[in-house]
Amino acid sequence: MREERLLEVEDLTIYYITDDAGTCKAVNHMSFSLGKGETLGLVGETGAGKTTIARGIMGLIPNPPGKIVGGRILFRGQDLLKIKEKEIRKIRGNDISMIFQDPMTALNPTDTVGEQIAEVLKYQKKLGKKEARQEAVKMMEMVGIPGERYEEYPHQFSGGMKQRIVIAIALACKPELLIADEPTTALDVTIQAQVLDMMKELKNRLGTSMVLITHDLGVVAEMCDRVAVVYAGEVVEMGTAEHIYDETAHPYTIGLFGSLPSVAGTEERLKPVEGMMPDPTQLPEGCKFAPRCPHRKSGCEEQEIELTEISEGHYVRCIYCGKEG
């Protein structure tokens, strides 16, 4: 029901408009919702529009060249696209927070890590210097870093520890919604597992809802309740994790799974998705995946394809999925 939905993105369209390269159609009529305490995974190749969606929710689309052309972003029923920047700043970091992709660039090298956590608390919670420091130390210890390291600088931490600091900053104000943009991409496999376990434990403890952006289908299986597969700025398949993994329907999603190595499989070579992502300044007519689809037919390139519910809660953007043959 509507009141149970924390976030609703409806028909969101975001373009980057330039004089030289033309109009980049980064996000096209994107729609999804997120319930309280739920984790939604956004999966897709580089250039699919996942980070632009996240920045749109955060109100961080650079203008120019970025422009939100249409749609609504409802947070607790309030349209974030219709409120003033001053109000957005009160929400950003306090009610909605984001873990950025690379901890190396997300942290300020000239400030101590403790100061960077405390800064959020001073600005959003209006805490004094002493209280902000105490809360920052608690956040450091919550993510597994000794409070004694408050006065140390980012270069004194490993990649995994930097990511923990970035997570501490994002969770400092105990937001209702956390957007995690590929939070483990820069980490090795062992540290990645530790960070994911920590994020899951903190999410459950604080009751936070999360949008998780990733390339890694293994991370999605570990973390997400529902999954939206994104291609060329559109959702091509969406459903529960069980739908996506056990009832895979869209040819693009099938291709993503086919390109994964399997310990149990007998294949000697992986099966990559042939071709490249379309140029967002020159998107094809009809189905955006049709030029790469091994099952395409003439109708695929001639009409706009709508998301169709092929089973309860399982949606696919394909005119042939869910039909016999």
Phi and psi dihedrals of 122, rounded to 5?
A: -65, -40
- Asked if residue 299 has pLDDT above 90, the reply is no
Q: Is the dihedral of CA 81, 77, 204, 46 positive or negative?
A: negative
**pLDDT tens figures, 263-289:** 666 666 777 788 888 999 999 988 999
3-state SS class at 306: coil
Q: What average pLDDT does the structure give for the chain?
A: 89
In the prediction, which pLDDT does 51 show?
Answer: 93
Name the token pair of 249.
Answer: 């329907």
Q: Could you give the CA distance from residue 186 to residue 191 in angstroms, rounded to a whole number?
A: 10
Predicted structure pTM score: 0.89
CA angle 194, 200, 201 (to 5 degrees): 90
Domain ranges of the chain: 2-224, 225-325
Q: Which of 185, 226, 178 is nearest to 199 (CA)?
A: 178
Distance from C-alpha of 159 to C-alpha of 166, rounded to nearest angstrom: 11
Average pLDDT for residues 86-99, to the nearest whole number? 92
Choice among 25-39, 62-76, 158-172 with the minimum mean pLDDT:
158-172
Q: What percent of the chain has pLDDT over 90?
A: 63
159 or 26: which leads in pLDDT: 26
Instruction: Find out if CATH 3.40.50.300 is the number for domain 2-224.
Output: yes
Reported as a single tens digit per residue, the pLDDT across 103-123 is 888 899 999 999 999 999 999
